[in-house]
Each structure stands twice: as structure tokens, then as C-alpha cells.
Amino acid sequence: MINDKGESYMLYTLSGAPREAFSRFPMPRNTAVFAPTFNGDGIVRSDDILKDPRYGKSDPHYGMPKGHLPVRSYLAAPVVSRSGEVLGGLFFGHPDPGIFGDRAERLIAGIAAQAATAIDTARLFQAAEREVAERRRAEAALQVLNTTLEQRVVEEVQERTKAEEQLRQIQKMEAVGQLTGGIAHDFNNMLAVIIAGLNLIQRKLAKGESDVERFVEAAVDGAQRAAGLTQRLLAFSRQQPLAPVTLDGNKMISGMAELLARTLGETISLETVLAAGLWRVRADSGQLENAILNLCVNGRDAMPGGGKLTLETANSYVDEAAARVYSIPSGQYVMIAVADNGSGMSEDVIAKAFDPFFTTKGVGKGTGLGLSQVYGFVRQSGGHVKIYSEVGVGTTVKIYLPRHLGEAGPDVVRRVPIASYRGRKNEVILVVEDEDRVRGVSVEALRELGYTVVSAASPREALQLLDGGVSVALLFTDVVMPSMSGRELAVQARERIPGLKVLYTTGYTRNAIVHNGILDPGTNLLPKPFSIDELATKVREVLDGI
């Protein structure tokens, strides 16, 4: 709506009350209660807004307007873009006091961060579409100018200069097309290896030849690379669930030493500067390892002739000013930095480094998802990422994660998948999967590992088996199925077999077992695609309660 002063605001979504309940009220103003949300300063929470000292001091109402919906509990959070622009706000009210607690505040902060990321991404693609249209208009304008060149020499030169500037600005759109082609190129290469390898295996086996090991290895490698690229795409789009644990950054980095040495190669000198008494953080250990590995690989690629890579940790404090810039709460953070003495980045490259699909690498050599994946994970974990770089000197990327003040918890142990984790015949596993071929492969793999397996093509068929007296030790179920979700199946199965252990699997995680990007507590998940080694390890961990 627009008021008599030309100011406007828009309700993009509303829940719990009809839209008309707000249509007759005037423009919300930058009062003491609304200001932190409008300015992007932080979250406002009040157990009773009518008793809040910030409320009821502004004319003309000095309180709640006549006819306003009853509100006592109040919770609001700004939606702030990566650039610091306040995009809007999320506002929650309840007629009873004391409804919103710390958990609600954390949830709304996470939702606001995800909303900001989604809007930023949408704006990026909208800008790219606008630039494509501008390029077409510029090219048409150039053609018109060429036909009148003799009469408008001076004007043409001026317009040509302007058009060329527009074309330079559109180059990033061309880069998006090239990078999208690069992703397709990678997938097609991987599929080519898989399909050709399997075809060769078929032909050789049909002729009675058994020398097929190299084709099997090539097909498996291609499939694993494709799965890895898919996981990176899911992580960038925030569809990869997080399973946060309390961890020590120093121990994690020390435990990654062998992996980093193999990845970086002999031409890169790796140095660690680990702070004594480093605070603990709460984050997904696998995703944090991936983020560190991503940054180390980027540093290696910036030093093609070799160089020095430094991993550093430190306890840090983010003051109010920096917190407002980064759109995070002020306070104590753990800093993890990856520094190289490579080619460095210009200011223009730094400004676009976290944009999805942006890369300085050649086609087929990078997806442009590495840094945006790191950024998405860190923001989803309540932190921030900052790049410091100078051309010809090197680059430092600093990750800031909130300090965890709760109990330390057990140390995170990186478990290597082990196929020797075998089952026993008296351990019965019920496999529920609506895709016939996926179900068949899962059943055969579990039988190969020594388990007794029964299967069902749907949740209802699975429940009929349980009602028929089948006793199982583990329910291994897909999450997304047509008639009933894996979560709903697990609930009903546990009504029949109390304490039944459940392992979920899915190729795309929805809200059935994930909320605010975090796996529900006590949830065991094996993402698709998985190897038999990974299946063996995960099933054994769930059955043994590890």
C-alpha cells in the first residue's frame, strides 16, 4: 500500500490472520520497537509488548491502534542481504505473553538468513536476465547507428562507447553460461565413462572374458565424481542437511593433516598456527571439513608453481559495528583462516567471489560452487566468511563461527567406511523403497553383508509385514515416498515394535527429518548415492548405537 506521503510497504506473506486485518492500518514507522528490524540491527523479542519500555511512546496511537489484532508476545527479525541491505522483516505476534523463547529466536534467525540468501540469489539471476536484454537492445542500437554512420559520426562514436561499456558489463552473464556448460560438460564426461565402462563389461562377460576390473574401477570413479558434484550443488542450495556437533577446531585440523598433505601435493608447504585454549564451536563436522578442504584447494590452485599454505585458528570477538555489517550477533567467535601466498584477487573478483557459479578457472576446471558452498554453510551455522586479498601477494579467507558455551561433548572421530562391518543372519533388516531398482540393489547389498533382509515397495506394504508378525532389528527406509513419508512410516512402525532402530536414506532431503537445515535429534541418515562400504559402516553404527 502507498500512504499520502508516497511511502509504501508490502505484506509478502501472512499467517494466522486475514490480510484485511492489516489493510486499514497506516504505515509502520521507525519507532523504538520497529527500528531494530527496519534498520537491520538485530532481533527484537518481548515477552509482553504492552509492558515493554520501548512500546507506546509514539503518536498518534501511543500504543496499539484501535481494532488491531491482540498482541502480547512479540518477536521480529530483519532479513538482511549479504551486502547489508535490509530486505524486509519477519514479524511474529501472539495474544498470550511469554510465548517466544531462545529456541524461537534461533529459529527465526535461521529462517531470516535463509530468506536473505534466497532473495540475493534470485536478484543475481534477475540482474543477469536484465543484462541479457540490455545486450540485445545495445546490439540493435549499434545496427541502427551503422546505417546512419555518415550523418551522425560524432553521435555514433558516443553511442558505440556506451554500448561497448554495456557489453563489458554483460560479460558476467556470459560467464554464467560458460560455467553452466562446464557443469554439463563434467556430468557428461562422468556419464560417458560410466556408460562406456558398463557396456564394455557387458560385452566382455558375454564373450566369457573376466578381465573387466579396470572398467569397473573407471565406472565407479565416474559415479563417485558425479555424486560429489551433486552434493556440492545441494550444499550450495542449502538442501544438504546439517548434523551439528560440539567440536574442537584444532583437533579437527590436526586430524585432517594427512588428507590435506595428499590433496595439496609435494609443491605446497603446509603450516598450521593453532591457538592455545581455542574455544569450541557447534557445527556439522563433515561440512566444516569440506569447507576447510575447499579453501585449501583454492589456495593450492592459486599457487600453480608451488608455495606456502597456512591454516590458523584463534579466539576472536566481533564488536557491534562489525556485527551490523556482517548481519550476525556480536560476541565471541572462533576464527579459522586459510592463507596462501599465491596470485591474489582483485577488488572486482573479491566482490563476486561468493556469487554462485562465479569462477576464474577455465571451463570444465571449476563449477564456481566452492566458495558459495562455504559461504552458505557458514551462514547457516550462524557465522560469517571474510576474504582478504592482494594481487601478487596472496589471499586469506577467514571463517568465523559462534563460540559454543555448552558442554564439550565427545570428540568427533572421522570414521572410514569399512566393508568388513558385517551382519549376522539373526539381524533382520526391513528395506522400504518405492524405486524397484534401488530397492533391489539395497537388498542385495545388505544380504551380501550378511544380514537377513525383507523388503517392501511402499510404507503400507511394510506395515502389513510388521502386522503379519515379521520381527526386524532395523528399518532402512527412503524419506520421500508417494503415499507416506519415511518419518511417518517410522512412527507407525515403532508403535508396533517399540525402540525399533531406523536408518533413513534419500537423494533429496525435505522437511520430514530436517528442520531449519538441521537433522532432527537422534536421526540417522545415509544420503544417496552410497557405496556398499558406506552402507556397511552406517548400518553397523545404527545397530550398535555408536
Domain harbouring 486, CATH code: 3.40.50.2300
Average pLDDT of the chain is: 79
Whether residue 440 is found in the same domain as residue 524: yes
Q: 96 and 76, same structural domain?
A: yes
Does residue 108 sit within a domain? yes
Q: What is the pTM of this model?
A: 0.47
**In a domain? residue 412:** no
Residue of 6, 101, 89, 73 whose CA lies nearest to 41? 89
Q: How confident is the model at residue 197, as a pLDDT?
A: 75
Task: Tell me, yes or no, whether 398 and 334 share the same domain.
Answer: yes
Based on the fold, state whether residues 78 and 199 are members of the same structural domain.
Answer: no
Give me the mean pLDDT over the 352-377 stretch: 66
With a cut of 80, say whether residue 178 has pLDDT above it.
Answer: no
Mean pLDDT for the stretch of residues 324-342:
90
Tell me, what CATH number does 321's domain have?
A: 3.30.565.10
Report the CATH number that the domain containing residue 73 is assigned in CATH. Answer: 3.30.450.40
Residue 303 lies in a domain: yes
Q: Is 364 within the bounds of a domain? A: yes
What's the average model confidence in pLDDT over 453-466? 92
pLDDT band at residue 1 under the 50/70/90 scheme: very low
**Nearest one of 408, 373, 380 to 515, comparing CA atoms:** 380
Domain total of the chain: 4
Q: What is the pLDDT of residue 145?
A: 66
> Cell digits for 471?
520381527
The residue whose grid cell reads 566452492 is 370
Average the pLDDT over 229-255 and give the result. Answer: 71
Burial of 429-460, coded b for 16+ CB within 10 Å and e otherwise, reads bbbbbbeeebbeebbebbeebebebebbebbe
Residues in the chain: 546
Whether 154 shows a pLDDT value over 80: the answer reads no
Question: Given this model, what pLDDT does residue 417 score?
Answer: 56
DSSP 369-389: -HHHHHHHHHHHTT-EEEEEE
Q: Are residues 271 and 345 in the same domain?
A: yes
**Predicted confidence band of residue 412 (pLDDT cuts 50, 70, 90):** low
Per-residue model confidence (pLDDT) at position 431: 93
Tell me the mean pLDDT in the region 50-57: 79
SS3 78: strand
201 assigned to some structural domain: yes
Q: Which residue has the higher pLDDT, 451 or 198?
A: 451
229 and 248 share a domain?
no
Given this model, what pLDDT does residue 509 score? Answer: 58
pLDDT at 476 exceeding the cut of 90: yes
What does the pLDDT average to over 368-397?
A: 84
Tell me the average pLDDT across 169-189.
57
- Chain-centroid distance of CA 138 in Å reads 37
Is the model's pLDDT at 363 over the cut of 60? Answer: no
- Assess whether pLDDT exceeds 50 at residue 179: no
263: confidence class by pLDDT, cuts 50, 70, 90: confident
Q: How far is CA 14 from CA 10, 91, 157, 239, in A?
A: 11, 9, 53, 25
**Which parts of 30-124 are beta strand (E)?**
44-46, 73-80, 86-94
Are 252 and 231 part of one and the same domain? Answer: no
Domain range holding 507?
428-544
pLDDT number for residue 310: 92
Same domain, 93 and 40: yes
Confidence at residue 175, expressed as pLDDT on a 0 to 100 scale: 47
In-domain check, residue 438: yes
pLDDT of residue 503: 92
Most confident residue range from 110-124, 340-354, 366-380, 451-465: 451-465
pLDDT at position 62: 66
pLDDT of residue 232: 58
Whether residue 419 is predicted with pLDDT greater than 60 in this model: the reply is no
- Same structural domain, 390 and 261: yes
Q: What percentage of the chain exceeds 90 in pLDDT? A: 14
259-263, 396-400, 432-436: least confidently modelled range: 259-263
